[in-house]
Amino acid sequence: MDNNFTIYNSLTRKKEPFKPLHPPFVGLYVCGPTVYSDPHLGHARPAVTFDMLYRYLTHLEYKVRYVRNITDVGHLENDADEGEDKIEKKARLEHLEPMEVVQKYINSFQKNMEELNTLHPSIEPRASGHIIEQQELIREILEKGYAYEVNGSVYFDVLKYSKKFKYGKLSGRVLEELQANTRTLEGQEEKRNPFDFALWKKATPEHLMRWSSPWSEGSPGWHLECSAMSTKYLGEVFDIHGGGMDLLFPHHECEIAQSTAAKGKESVRYWMHNNMITINGQKMARSLGNFITLEQFFSGDHPLLKQAYSPMTIRFFLLQAHYRSTIDFSNEALQAAEKGFQKLMKATETLDKLKPSLASSIDISSLRKNCYEAMDDDLSSSVLLSYLFEGVKYINSVSDGTEKLSSNDLESLKSLFNVFVFDILGLKDETAGRCDEKLTDDLMKIIIDLRQDAKNKKEWAASDKIREELKNAGIILKDLKDGAEWERE
Ligand code: ZN
């Protein structure tokens, strides 16, 4: 655990050496998705970024408890506590029970995350499963005097809080500006100040998701779940809180205020935020028609896509940029990523076949040092990839005989590629699955030929047996004039 890992802390706005509170244990909390639609490229970026962080911390021999929540209640259409709950709205439009909507999109999120080769978090808690913890936190904030109840709803008193603590320390926003810029929306008149935010909202009669509470039948405010669940699973003070830059305000700012108001101290030691993805220079939005889901990327089925892009091409594309830089999507950029990824995979295959020499003409130890320095420097995956491509050059030069590697150095280069390409960047060879497909095709051709032989010899029992056994295995044979076709059931 002796390491030089530094991370950029959004709170102090500088790079800091990473020193966990209770080494070797590390608490990592990441804001997960609100599950009301199919995952898109914007979901892939935090997932891949914090997966890389999780993998690197684990590689550095920390014991990481990685908590990523699922928001299944409380996230309203706009961030100012108004509008319909996003999940309820979807349920109404699709004629589903809200929890059916939740399950449907949890399933698609988890499927896409597996395709992107992200590791499962240690815990994936859901907001609706932690209503009691959230109510308990509201009670604490009320007791400390930083919240007030109006008509069965409870709001956080930002003005009162800011007299003792600094509201806006993460986002750099100041109260006067907020006051001037926050419109008083319809239905907001319960709040003492427009910048106050809801901790508990009383349910309207048509509201489907509701729980009883000391204040009213209703549902928790969106920001509350992350404060309640991070405290429950990681303690009152924990190491790293991550999420997308779009969550910095108001979501994370409000999380800080809630925890500080309730416990009198800050809960998060390092705040990390990944930057956003634009499409041809524009923000991604349904209304702009440039909203592309991950399934659409994988199938190529979207008017803006010139071809399908595999999950590893998407992962490689995201890793090519530093997580704090914006990324602009274009077909050209993804095609370049696909080429780069394939070149890297081809080199790992070549590496496996290299023969050692008696001595080396290349220095592997400096390459190793550079790779670690890149990751230690706030997860600079883009720099790491440039060093790995230096390694690709070495591999190709050794393969064509212009350079040499001793058997020790060859082993060291193999382990370096294994660690950085597969374990830390989380890339994987996608051709392995395709080989199985080809093998199945070849085997089916042999079986169909054997059955044709049996039929030619009028051995009907044998030919029927083959057909039956294949059917049991889920494969349907269709006889044609010459030979047969097969398909999966
Ligand atoms: Zn959150």
What separation in Å is there between the alpha carbon of 28 and the centre of ligand 1?
A: 12
Residue 389 φ/ψ region, left for φ over 0, alpha for ψ in the -120 to 50 degree band, beta for the rest: alpha
What separation in Å is there between the alpha carbon of 156 and the centre of ligand 1?
A: 17
pLDDT at residue 183 is higher than 70: no
pLDDT in tens, 259-290: 999 999 999 999 999 999 998 888 777 667 77
What separation in Å is there between the alpha carbon of 222 and the centre of ligand 1?
A: 8
Residues 442 and 66: their CA atoms lie apart, in Å, by 43
pTM recorded for the entire structure: 0.87
What separation in Å is there between the alpha carbon of 221 and the centre of ligand 1?
A: 11
**pLDDT value, residue 79:** 60
What separation in Å is there between the alpha carbon of 232 and the centre of ligand 1?
A: 14
What separation in Å is there between the alpha carbon of 220 and the centre of ligand 1?
A: 13
What separation in Å is there between the alpha carbon of 240 and the centre of ligand 1?
A: 13
Q: Which residues pair with 271 in a beta bridge?
A: 241
**pLDDT value, residue 285:** 72
What separation in Å is there between the alpha carbon of 482 and the centre of ligand 1?
A: 61
Q: Which stretch of DSSP H or E encloses residue 103?
A: helix 98-115
pLDDT at residue 252 is higher than 70: yes
pLDDT at residue 432 is higher than 80: no
Q: Which stretch of DSSP H or E encloses residue 279?
A: strand 277-279
pLDDT in tens, 329-386: 999 999 999 999 999 999 999 999 999 999 999 999 999 999 999 999 999 999 999 9
Residues 28 and 242: their CA atoms lie apart, in Å, by 8
- What are residue 238's phi and psi, to 5 degrees? -140, 175
Residue 126 CA: distances (Å) to CA of 107, 230, 308, 328: 14, 12, 33, 32
**pLDDT value, residue 238:** 98
What separation in Å is there between the alpha carbon of 68 and the centre of ligand 1?
A: 9
- What are residue 78's phi and psi, to 5 degrees? -120, 160
What separation in Å is there between the alpha carbon of 469 and the centre of ligand 1?
A: 52
The alpha carbon torsion through 348, 352, 353, 354 (nearest 10 deg) reads 90
What separation in Å is there between the alpha carbon of 461 and the centre of ligand 1?
A: 64
Residues 39 and 277: their CA atoms lie apart, in Å, by 14
Cβ–Cβ under 8 Å, residues 53 and 242? yes
What separation in Å is there between the alpha carbon of 375 and the centre of ligand 1?
A: 26
The two structure tokens encoding residue 294: 């991950």
| More confident site: 137 or 175 | 137
Terminal-residue alpha carbon distance, the chain: 52
What separation in Å is there between the alpha carbon of 108 and the centre of ligand 1?
A: 20
What separation in Å is there between the alpha carbon of 251 and the centre of ligand 1?
A: 6
What separation in Å is there between the alpha carbon of 197 and the centre of ligand 1?
A: 15
148: three-class secondary structure by DSSP: strand
What separation in Å is there between the alpha carbon of 34 and the centre of ligand 1?
A: 10
pLDDT at residue 186 is higher than 60: no
Residues 378 and 435: their CA atoms lie apart, in Å, by 37
Q: How many residues does the chain have?
A: 489
Question: Helices 381-399 and 331-353 sit at what angle, rounded to 10 degrees?
Answer: 50
Average model confidence (pLDDT) for the chain? 93
pLDDT at residue 81 is higher than 80: no
Closest residue by Cα to residue 148 from 199, 184, 188: 199
What separation in Å is there between the alpha carbon of 224 and the centre of ligand 1?
A: 8
Residues 333 and 176: their CA atoms lie apart, in Å, by 42
Which structural domains are found in the chain, ordered by start?
Answer: 6-274 (3.40.50.620), 279-424 (1.10.730), 435-488 (no CATH)
Question: Helices 222-234 and 131-144 sit at what angle, rounded to 10 degrees?
Answer: 100
**pLDDT value, residue 203:** 92
What separation in Å is there between the alpha carbon of 252 and the centre of ligand 1?
A: 7
